[in-house]
Amino acid sequence: MNAKLIITILLCMWLAPSLAGAQNSDFETIVSRGMTDYHNGKYENALSWYKQAYQMNRNSELVCYQIAATYLTLQDYESAAIYSSKLLKKDGEYSKDAYLINASAWENLGRTKKARKIYREALKKHPSNYLLHYNLALSCFNNHQMEEAMEHTISAIEIYPAHASSHLLLAYTMFDMGERVQSMLPLYYFLLLEQDSDRSSTAYDMLESLWNQGVRVKGQRDIQLIKAGFNYGEFANAELAVSMIQPSDFSEDHAKSKVKNKLLNKFVSNSTTLFKVLEESAVDKDGFWWDFYVNFFSKLHRNELDEAFSYYISGCRFNQDVLLWMSENNQEFQEFSSWMEAQ
């Protein structure tokens, strides 16, 4: 072997790692640019970068995931389904997220039965993923499968109690199942987690309507209970109490606050009475509803923080009045805030 050939071979051996390193550097830079554009809302630009990176390395699960996620954001559901399917076949690091994208894509394409099948398959592998439970619950709710919707929404809450959307979905589910008190409890908790949004205002309106359900006012002194159309089960006592609390508050004002907003004060008075009734009804009761919701609101009542809680969640509707109450009852509100931070 001549010297020239040896030098050429050695040169190639030296250059190979350098070229590979440069290629890896370029790949990482391109992916990084795609991520930056995506986070800045430039989804088409991000997709262009990701596709360029995909041409460089088709085995990159990260890039495949980013492409699928970007297509889903761009509402190109067919492409999102195709790329997420590639990840499902590999069953690697991004499998869990790929299931969410894939099922969501099929859901948006109108293939809801297939989407639910994918969610159920995913939950066999990832039973502790609250988003899989929530998305399956939402799909079941939209398909009027309320029992399964309730089951998976409760699972999502048990896994991640701070997921506000799960509490809201559970409220809607229980409402459609004809359960008033079990609709109200998740609405109260949702408003604790998400106090200032468009969804908050809608949830508060729903909560108020549930308080009014079953009550007809003919005149100032003529209050008549009518059939609420709600079921009576393990919350029968609380259900009856809700029906009786509201009429009494049409006729007299129990509010202790100096705030003059009668609607707000009535809501606070009603809520604190409900929490007291729930605590009294909780003796020898167990299960999700009693262990999670009733236990929480009972502790609020025992610590005399239910009034502060009720004013706080009312900020989405009566912001100025709530701020006035807070300024007049600053110590009570601070105690409520400190107690919540410790939970």
The pLDDT assigned to 2 comes to: 53
The pLDDT assigned to 247 comes to: 53
Q: pLDDT in tens for each of the 343 residues of the chain?
A: 555 544 544 444 444 444 444 456 788 999 999 999 999 999 999 999 999 999 999 999 999 999 999 999 999 999 999 999 999 988 888 999 999 999 999 999 999 999 999 999 999 999 999 999 999 999 999 999 999 999 999 999 999 999 999 999 999 999 999 888 999 999 999 999 998 899 999 999 999 989 887 554 444 444 444 444 556 577 887 887 777 775 555 444 444 556 778 889 889 989 999 999 999 888 888 999 999 999 999 999 999 999 999 999 999 999 999 999 999 899 999 999 999 988 8
Domain total in the chain:
1
* Within a domain: 221: yes
Q: CB under 8 Å to 328, separation ≥6 — which residues?
A: 257, 258, 259
Is the distance from CB of 138 to CB of 169 less than 8 angstroms? yes
* Within a domain: 14: no
* Within a domain: 228: yes
Is the distance from CB of 141 to CB of 173 less than 8 angstroms? yes
| Residues linked to residue 106 through DSSP beta bridges, in sequence order | none
* Within a domain: 115: no
* Within a domain: 255: yes
The pLDDT assigned to 261 comes to: 86
Q: Tell me the pTM.
A: 0.84
- How is residue 198 written in tokens? 């468009």
The pLDDT assigned to 4 comes to: 53
The pLDDT assigned to 234 comes to: 78
* Within a domain: 208: yes
* Within a domain: 154: no
The pLDDT assigned to 231 comes to: 60
The pLDDT assigned to 25 comes to: 76
Q: How many whole angstroms separate alpha carbon 100 and alpha carbon 86?
A: 13
State the Rg of the chain over Cα.
28
Cα dihedral across residues 165, 167, 168, 173: positive or negative: positive
Q: CB under 8 Å to 137, separation ≥6 — which residues?
A: 148, 149, 150, 151, 152, 153, 156, 166, 169, 173
Is the distance from CB of 107 to CB of 139 less than 8 angstroms? yes
Range of the domain at 301: 184-343
Give me the helices (H) in 40-94, please. Answer: 43-56, 61-73, 77-90
* Within a domain: 68: no
